[in-house]
Amino acid sequence: MSDLVDTFLNWDHITAVLPDLLRTGLVNTLILAGSSAVLGTVLGLGLALLGLSHRRWLRWPARVYTDIFRGLPAIVTILLVGQGLAVVARPVIGTNPYPLGILALSLIAAAYIGEIFRAGIQSVDKGQSEAARALGMTHVATMAKVVVPQGVRRVLPALVNQFIALVKDSSLVYFLGLLASQRDLFRIGQDVAANTGNLSPLVAAGLVYLLITVPLTHLVNFVDRRLRDGQPVRGGDTLAEFEPARA
Amino acid sequence: MPSSSLLVRDLHVSFGPVEVLRGVDLEVPRGTTTCVIGPSGSGKSTLLRAINQLEPPSRGEVLLDGSGVADVNVLRRRIGMVFQHFNLFAHRTVLDNLVLPLRSVLRLSQEEARDRASRYLDRVGLADKAPFRPSALSGGQRQRVAIARALAMEPEVVLFDEATSALDPELVKGVLGLMAELSSAGMTMVVVTHEMGFAREVADQVCFLDHGLVVESGPPAAVFGSPTAPRLRKFLDQVL
């Protein structure tokens, strides 16, 4: 039993790896996940809008893209993009695997986020866009100012879930080969675990992941509750005061 | 108040193989109110939606002050519309519901837009609701905000699509009162309604629509008092 505790929770190993985890691993994981979250959200919104287009030649590529990047294992996409484009991209980005790693993670995230946005935008009542169009607003203005803001608000919880997935998937970038300073949480934990023959450093890495993901999970619940409370179905009908006759 | 005549000529609308409007002619002189009545499915709402191109007509034309408007966004800017379900922008405050189209379509400055929005909210008696979300308002208040939003664009014609049908009975009177007020102020209006009392009292002209055609039209006294078409007589028997 004490062997088991020592394997997973050796305090000396944990405290030894912690500075590296926080100073290097946490920073790199947040860079990877944060950049791909931003890029994936932008690409995803574009995909959603294309996927909702009335023009088949715009809609169709978006659907195919989504099917492919949602259907492939993340690691396959990361290796194909990260290694496949490395030769082409080397003159621009050198040998740093981060730009292509972030690109691969973003491409994957965009497929999921695009579907989330598409569902949100589709759930907005048709009357909203009709009212905007009837006032003379252009299609673009209607989407940008009326439909998309409401659709996005509705899917914020699902979006945060996707960010959580990104934090976890960012660990796969280690397959592209990382320098010591480029290592993320997983890689640092894994390296030290391999060197010491003890799993405690990996457990420490896992704890730092939880430090990011658990608050995000609660953020989802909080956002969800806020949105629910903020948009009651029958609104403030309870506040309705008697309508004075104006005739 | 800006106001124009509206002329609808030979308007056809089809949903797939079904022809919902089969050649509607309608003349609404400047500053007058026309009420469109008829059984459900007769094409009343489709007529309004076709006038401002929410349902693109397959044939026919819509003339404002005698001339056609090529740009659909300009046409819609010049024709206001009030919907059965209000369709207020749920994510914006009451004031912003008016400000948004004033900024986006008329390109008013923030200050001008807010000024004008407040003025029109005041006109429908809801200036105090400016900072609230639409969800905090009663149905009647929401519809008055929707009317203010349409009026703030200073349209030349306003279309009302069963504006009181979704309201609780006790809230109907306030909205109809506001519409009557606009009518007597000289707004050109086309009102699709089931409120026969309103049509009788406020309309200058009543049009009875059935199966996508204007079957009978005339002053309310004639349409309600001495209807000639058998279908209109049957309809009036059912609703009055």
Per-residue confidence at A247, pLDDT binned at 50, 70, 90?
A: very low
Q: Does A180 touch chain B (CB under 8 A)?
A: no
- Give CA B82 to chain center in angstroms: 5
For residue A133, what are its two tokens? Answer: 């169009």
* Mean pLDDT, range A156-165, rounded to an integer: 92
Whole-number Å distance between alpha carbons of B181 and B184: 5
Whole-number Å distance between alpha carbons of A80 and B108: 51
Write the single-letter amino acid at A4.
L
CB B151 within 8 A of CB B179: no
CB B195 within 8 A of CB B202: no
Per-residue confidence at A239, pLDDT binned at 50, 70, 90?
A: very low
Angle at which helix A98-122 crosses helix A74-84, to 10 degrees, equals 130
Q: Does A125 touch chain B (CB under 8 A)?
A: yes
Q: pLDDT digit string (tens) for B152-199?
A: 999 999 999 999 999 999 899 999 999 999 999 999 999 999 999 999
Chain A residues with CB under 8 Å of B113 CB are none
Chain A residues with CB under 8 Å of B88 CB are 131
Question: Closest Cα partner for A174 from A135, A219, A205?
Answer: A205
What pTM does this model have? 0.84
Q: pLDDT digit string (tens) for B34-61?
A: 999 999 989 999 999 999 999 999 999 9
Q: What is the pLDDT of residue A235?
A: 38
For residue A4, what are its two tokens? Answer: 């088991």
Query: Which of A133, A134, A145 has its CB closest to that of B100?
Result: A145
For residue A125, what are its two tokens? Answer: 């009542």
- For residue A220, the 8-state DSSP code is H
Q: What is the pLDDT of residue A241?
A: 32
What is the rounded end-to-end Cα distance, in angstroms, of chain A?
85
For residue B22, what are its two tokens? Answer: 């089969």
Chain A residue at shortest CA distance from B132: A236
**How far is CA A113 from each of CA A46, A221, B25, B62, B146, rounded to the nearest angstrom?**
10, 18, 49, 43, 34
Residue contact B104–A239, C-beta within 8 A = no
Contacts with A167 (C-beta within 8 Å, 6 or more apart), sequence order: A29, A33, A209, A212, A213, A216
**How far is CA A103 from each of CA A26, A76, A109, A114, rounded to the nearest angstrom?**
19, 13, 10, 16
Asked if pLDDT for residue A98 goes beyond 50, the answer is: yes
Per-residue confidence at A228, pLDDT binned at 50, 70, 90?
A: low
The sheet with strand B213-218 has its strands ordered as: B79-82, B157-161, B188-192, B33-37, B205-210, B213-218
Contacts with B49 (C-beta within 8 Å, 6 or more apart), sequence order: B55, B161
Query: Which of B90, B104, B150 has its CB closest to that of A137?
Result: B104
> In a 3-state reduction of DSSP, which class is residue A179?
coil
Chain A residues with CB under 8 Å of B149 CB are 135
For residue A153, what are its two tokens? Answer: 């608000």
Whole-number Å distance between alpha carbons of B212 and B21: 4
Whole-number Å distance between alpha carbons of B97 and B93: 6
- For residue A176, the 8-state DSSP code is G
Residue contact A125–B77, C-beta within 8 A = no
Q: How far is B218 from chain A (nearest CA, A)?
A: 24
- For residue A242, the 8-state DSSP code is P
Asked if pLDDT for residue A234 goes beyond 50, the answer is: no
Q: What is the pLDDT of residue A224?
A: 77
Q: Does B29 touch chain A (CB under 8 A)?
A: no
Q: What mean pLDDT is reported for chain A? A: 88
Q: pLDDT digit string (tens) for B194-225?
A: 999 999 999 999 999 999 999 999 999 999 99
Whole-number Å distance between alpha carbons of A215 and B200: 63
Q: pLDDT digit string (tens) for A180-225?
A: 899 999 999 999 999 999 999 999 999 999 999 999 989 888 887 7
* Residues forming a β-bridge with B64: B6, B67
Residue contact A247–B176, C-beta within 8 A = yes
In angstroms and rounded to an integer, the radius of gyration of the C-alpha atoms of chain B is 18
For residue B104, what are its two tokens? Answer: 């986006």
Q: pLDDT digit string (tens) for A60-91?
A: 999 999 999 999 999 999 999 999 888 888 88
Q: pLDDT digit string (tens) for B100-158?
A: 999 999 999 999 999 999 999 999 999 999 999 999 999 999 999 999 999 999 999 99
For residue A15, what are its two tokens? Answer: 């405290």
Q: What is the pLDDT of residue A91?
A: 85
Whole-number Å distance between alpha carbons of B76 and A224: 37
Interface test with A, best of B138, B156, B158 (most A CBs within 10 A): B138
Asked if pLDDT for residue A143 goes beyond 80, the answer is: yes
For residue B10, what are its two tokens? Answer: 């030979």
Sign, CA torsion B62/B68/B71/B74: negative
Chain B residues with CB under 8 Å of A132 CB are 89, 101
CB B142 within 8 A of CB B121: no
Q: What are the DSSP E strand ranges found in chain B?
A: 6-15, 18-28, 33-37, 59-64, 67-68, 79-82, 157-161, 188-192, 205-210, 213-218
* Residues forming a β-bridge with B213: B210
Q: What are phi and psi of B13, to 5 degrees?
A: -135, 135
- For residue A241, the 8-state DSSP code is P
